[in-house]
Amino acid sequence: MGEGAAPGAIQEFNEIPASIPFDGYDAADKKTKRRLRGLDSGEFPCSSSIYTFLLGVGPDARGEVHGHRGRSDLAVACRGRVWAVELKISGQDGDDAPLAQEAFGQILEKGYAATYRQPHLLGIGINDKKRAITAWKSGFKG
């Protein structure tokens, strides 16, 4: 994942949920809602799917990386650069750009990339209804 890799990475990540038949989502939703008493399943299925995908294609990926003020969803080392990644999930219709901005801001606020040299930051907004990444914000912290 290089400097301009965010759009390509997002496209690759979106192929994961697109490959799952809709009845698989329905069964998982029903089972999760029974177990969680109607609450949304949250970020874990999304982050674990992306994490698993990354493990399969080669970068050094780590999930739930603990730092001094919290933990990021993912840290990915590839081609000499580390990406700090935070995910936010929405089940609403509309613009998900604020969600990606919130995820990006959380990386900065919580210092998820503080221990990396020239990290790339990636905030991702995932729309649960659309079953896709619908917004992202990326940038560098120098």
Q: How many Å apart are CA 42 and CA 38, to the nearest integer?
A: 12
DSSP reduced 3-state for 49: helix
* Contact call for residues 96 and 134 (beta carbons, < 8 A): yes
* Contact call for residues 121 and 84 (beta carbons, < 8 A): yes
**Is 0.85 topped by the overall pTM?**
no
Residue 136 burial (CB < 10 Å; 0-12/13-18/19+)? Answer: buried
CATH top class, domain 6-140:
alpha beta
Residue 81 CB contacts under 8 Å (≥ 6 apart), including other chains: 1, 2, 118, 119, 120
Tens-level pLDDT at each residue, the chain (142 residues): 444 566 777 777 777 666 666 555 555 555 555 444 443 456 667 777 777 778 777 778 888 888 888 888 989 998 888 999 999 988 788 888 999 999 999 999 999 999 888 899 999 998 888 878 899 999 987 5
User: What is the residue extent of each domain of the chain?
Assistant: 6-140
The CA distances from residue 134 to 23, 85, 86, 91, in Å, are: 21, 15, 14, 11
